Amino acid sequence: MRRNKKERQQLLIETIKQNPFVTDEELADKYSVSVQTIRLDRLELSIPELRERIKTVAEKKFSDEIRALPLDEIIGEVIDLNLDENAISILDIKKEHVFKRNGIARGHHLFAQANSLAVAVINDELALTTKASILFTRSVKENERVVAKAKVQEVDHNADRSVVEVRSYVGNEMVFKGEFEMYRS
């Protein structure tokens, strides 16, 4: 059923309030309008695009939780965090992340995303990488979204160490795997 603009915009506000991670495409499908109509509605209502909404939610939720480094020093955007358990971040690969000649992401960006997520997941004031074992499983290209998932495998308070495994994906395909041994104070 088609709604008038005012009704649609009110529903849009409520939907985004309930789920700030909903995409413009999902909203367009839900309200049977074009993606452009949703974008115009958002603009008129001063609702930021998905990327900005994710960033705002993450900053509010995680700024007090992450102990080992400031949120703005994490490479990528943290979207889920359970200290000493697991964490997820996303990194959109842009022009500044890739080699000009072939559009392939520079490896240090993928490593930095994984390493900073491994630091962020540690529930300690000081977390430092002591050793990393990494494997790149496929090239990542410009305009791809990398989702890094960290999982704390082991916490040894006697040795002041934790082991964090990070796997990074583009879609369902793993592109990076790393095991990080972390010092904790």
Nearest to 3 by CA among 27, 32, 29, 36: 32
Rounded Cα distance between 51 and 23, Å, is: 9
Q: What does the pLDDT average to over 37-59?
A: 80
Write out the E strands in the chain: 77-82, 86-92, 127-136, 145-156, 161-170, 173-184
* Predicted local distance difference test score (pLDDT) of residue 77: 86
Confidence at residue 104, expressed as pLDDT on a 0 to 100 scale: 97
Please give the average per-residue pLDDT across 129-149, as a whole number. 96
pTM of the predicted model over 0.95: no
Q: Mapped to the 3 state alphabet, what secondary structure does 39-55 carry?
A: HHHHHHHCCCCHHHHHH
Residue in the block written with tokens 């495998």: 153
Lowest mean pLDDT among 45-59, 82-96, 121-135, 158-172: 45-59
**pLDDT tens-digit readout, 51-99:** 777 666 665 555 555 555 566 678 898 888 888 999 999 999 999 999 9
pLDDT for 128 beyond 70: yes
pLDDT bucket at 159, cuts 50 / 70 / 90: confident
C-alpha separations of 119 from 105, 135, 151 in Å: 22, 18, 11
Band (124; pLDDT cuts 50, 70, 90): confident
Residue-level pLDDT at 64: 53
The CA distance from 113 to 74, in Å, is 7
List Cβ neighbours of 171 (8 Å cut-off, separation of 6 or more): none
Instruction: Decide: helix, strand or coil at residue 104.
Output: strand
The top-scoring range by mean pLDDT among 7-11, 63-67, 74-78, 168-172 is 168-172
Angle formed by the axes of helices 5-18 and 35-45, to 10°? 80
User: How many C-beta atoms lie closer than 10 Å to residue 52's C-beta?
Assistant: 11
Say what the pLDDT of residue 17 is: 84
What is the per-residue pLDDT across 86-100, written as a single tens digit (0 to 9) for each? Answer: 999 999 999 999 999
Report helix, strand or coil for 133: strand
Q: Report how far residue 29's alpha carbon sits from residue 112's, in angstroms, rounded to the nearest whole number.
A: 36
